[in-house]
Chain A
Amino acid sequence: MTKYFGGVAALKDVSFDIPAKQICGFIGPNGAGKTTLFSLITGAIRPSAGKVQFHGKDVTGMDAASLVKKGVARTHQIVRPFKAMTVLENVQLAVHYGRRAVARTHIARDHAMETLKLVGLDRKANTLASAISLGEQKRLEVARALATVPELLLLDEICGGLTGSETHAMMELLHRVREGGTTIMYVEHDMKAIMAVCDRITVLNFGQKLAEGKPEDIQNDKSVIEAYLGKSDFGGKKRA
């Protein structure tokens, strides 16, 4: 898949398969093309060349709402809660319009409440989304995406700005989601988080695929260490 913005190749001939029911991590320095990749998959932008296939069907450039109905949901790096709605209503909307398309309001509310319990936000259900903390808004973002009952879930930096314990809780949540049979594509800057949770990792650099493999292989890959982490020790301060 290739995407040019003007003359710049944000992504160049990047190609990969996402095996079902795994957590696939995507890492790379800023500007490597991770978010572009997500936007291409979710139809926010169209690729200059190449195709996106889901279950063998071409879904290139399909609009976000239709993709959700097919089972592809995403979260945003910068959270976008509906601030004038309660936390519960935010999730309830996703239950109504997600893959299951629950019509009855009280059933949708129950489903939404279960999802909120899963991410640990049930006690904030009736709070306005504008009145919860950033960490809680990040969890709400995940809860909304989960509430659409996706087969493929794209998570963009859900741990940015979270505390250590919050990140830990999020990782546990991802494990549980995968056990529920959902495939996850996961972009994150937090190395610890991504190494701990992913089954496979793809490394992007300057819009190209640099390496692909299991977390431990990626950690030992020389080109990755040089391109991404420079000469510093792994796990130390990285380029933010």
Chain B
Amino acid sequence: MKRPSGLGGWLKVILPWLLLAALLLLPVAGPSDNLIRLLFITAVWTTTSLGWNLLGGMAGQVSFGFAVFFGLGAYTTALLMHAGHSPYFGFAGGAAIAMLASYFIGLPTFRLRGPYFVIATIGVTEAVRVIMNNLDVTGGASGYRITEDKPFSALEHYYTAIAAAALAVLVSTFIANSKFGLALRAIKQDEDAAADLGVNPYTSKLWVHAIAAGLTGIAGGIYARRAAFFYPGDVFAFQTGISILLMPVIGGIGTVWGAVLGGVIFGTVEEELVVYFPNLHLLIYGSLLIAIILLEPDGLLGLLRRLFRLLRRKRGDPSSPDVDQVLWGRGRVEGREL
């Protein structure tokens, strides 16, 4: 990793740790149950958002099929807990099963490119949901219930979710700065050219798919344990796959903190909007999404970056680009260069 330079560079290094410290210390300040629940769900979604972002944002393989991993994480955790194992063993098992599934899903689908890959992932999700609906071991369509002997502890759930999100941030940052991350970015831009330099796009995609699936599986397990009851039409739903995909798109696709931002916004919107606008929350969410895709393809993080640069410009910082460039961007999204 590069050494940070300047105030901005140090802030980038310090802020995440400050954020983590604040989240860990928050329970001391006696927050409401509601806030803890909100932060829990936000952390869960942030984890899936970061997971998806590895495959979809960095490697450019848009998958609609992450509900499969989320659901597998949920069910594996539940079944392992039912068999008397610790929930944490359950999360690890959920990650392992999700990774294994990602391998078998990836084997055929990564032979496909572009829209064909996207369509294949939709097909896989639907197939898995239908299978789970009819599987007796898991109670089929009527769902599964987790029972724990020890009393419910909102804080334990909270801390596991925060830990999972922190793990996802660490893994993402590590990959983004590694040679593997460089290869993924190359694959996103031109698979064949990457292969000409010795990168094997197929195995690279299988690997990143597995890592992404593992994180999503953990998130699924953590979600399921707190929810205590879930069913295939919920965790394996096509809509869950879409939600996981939309978070990094909203926040800023391909960037670690964009994916975090997306997860936070989705979590908040999902939990709060549904309270105030029970019938309209999806409409609001959808409108927000359309606005972002149309106006700022780099997501909210891209918007913030541009605002920040614009402010510096106003202050007369000569090193910042001119206003036109700041306002309209340049090379915002590949293939859409201005």
Give the B-binding residues of A (Cβ under 8 A).
42, 63-66, 68-69, 73-74, 76, 80-85, 89, 92-94, 96-99, 101, 103, 105, 108, 128, 130, 144-145, 147-148
User: Once the chains bind, are B179 and A63 in contact (CB under 8 Å)?
Assistant: no
CB pair B198–A82 under 8 Å, yes or no, is no
Interface size on B, residues (CB 8 A): 22
| The residue from A80, A96, A128 contacting B182, defined by CB atoms under 8 A apart | A96
Which residues of chain B from 157 to 207 have a CB within 8 Å of any chain A CB? 177-179, 182-183, 185-186, 189-190, 192-201
Q: Once bound together, how far apart are the Cα atoms of A103 and B331, in whole Å?
A: 30
User: Nearest chain B CB to A45's CB is how many angstroms away?
Assistant: 12
9 tightest A-B CB contacts, nearest first: A97-B198, A68-B198, A80-B193, A96-B179, A64-B195, A94-B197, A65-B200, A82-B189, A65-B195
Nearest A residue to B177, CB-CB: A105
Q: CB within 8 A of B190: which of A74, A82, A103, A130?
A: A82
CB distance from A182 to the nearest CB of B (A): 16
Minimum distance in angstroms from B301 CB to a CB of chain A: 16
Beyond A65-B201, A69-B198, A105-B178, list 10 extra A-B contacts (CB 8 Å): A64-B195, A68-B198, A82-B185, A82-B186, A84-B185, A84-B189, A92-B179, A96-B182, A98-B197, A108-B179
> How many whole Å from A203's CB to the nearest CB in chain B?
27
> B337 at the A/B interface (Cβ < 8 Å)?
yes
B136 within 8 A of A: no
Contact A83 B189 (CB under 8 A): yes
B334 CB within 8 Å of chain A? yes
Evaluate contact between A64 and B177: CB separation under 8 angstroms.
no
A–B pairs, 11, beta carbons within 8 Å: A65-B199, A73-B196, A83-B337, A84-B185, A85-B189, A92-B179, A93-B179, A93-B186, A97-B183, A99-B198, A105-B179
Q: Count CB-based A-B contacts (< 8 Å).
A: 83
A64 touches B331 (CB 8 A): no
Give residues 265-308 of B contacting A (CB, 8 Å). none
> Do A103 and B179 touch (CB < 8 A)?
yes
A63 contacts B193, CB within 8 Å?
Answer: no
Q: Once the chains are docked, how many angstroms separate the CA of A89 from the CA of B184?
A: 12
Identify A89's interface contact among B182, B331, B334, CB under 8 A.
B182
Contact B183 A74 (CB under 8 A): no
Q: Which residues of B contact A145 (CB under 8 A)?
A: 196-197
**Chain B residues with CB under 8 A of A103:** 179
Beta-carbon contact of B196 and A76 below 8 Å: yes
The B contact surface, by secondary structure, is helix
* CB of B18, distance to nearest CB on chain A (Å): 27
Contact B190 A94 (CB under 8 A): no
B182: chain A residues within 8 A (beta carbon):
85, 89, 92-93, 96
Cα(A82)–Cα(B190), bound, Å: 7
* Bound CA span A62–B177, Å: 30
Which of the residues A76, A84, A92, A148 comes within 8 Å of B334, measured between beta carbons?
A84
Please pick, from A42, A92, A97, A105, the residue contacting B199 in the complex, using a CB distance under 8 A: A97
Residues of the B chain whose Cβ atoms lie less than 8 Å from the Cβ of A76: 193, 196
Tell whether, in the assembled complex, residue B334 and residue A94 are in contact, meaning their CB atoms are under 8 Å apart. Answer: no
Contacts of B197 in A (CB 8 A): 68, 73, 93-94, 97-98, 144-145, 147-148
Q: Which residues from B are CB-within-8-Å of A89? A: 182, 185
Separation of A103 and B178 alpha carbons in the complex (Å):
9
On chain B, the residues within 8 Å of A130 by CB distance are: 331, 337
Q: List the B side residues contacting A42 at CB < 8 Å.
A: 196
Q: Report Cα–Cα, A159/B189, bound state, in Å.
A: 24
Q: Which among B179, B199, B201, B334 has the greatest number of chain A C-beta atoms within 10 A?
A: B179
Residues 124-166 (chain B) with a chain A CB within 8 angstroms: none
- Across the interface, name the chain B residue whose C-beta is closest to A128: B331
Check A84–B183 contact: CB distance below 8 A. Answer: no
By a CB distance below 8 angstroms, the chain A residues around B193 are 76, 80-82
Shortest distance from the beta carbon of B109 to any chain A beta carbon, whole Å: 19
How many angstroms from the CA of A81 to the CA of B189 in the assembled complex? Answer: 9
- Distance in angstroms from A217 CB to nearest chain B CB is 33
What is the CB-to-nearest-CB distance from B234 to chain A, in angstroms, rounded to a whole number?
37
Most chain B CB atoms below 10 A, which of A42, A81, A105, A130: A105
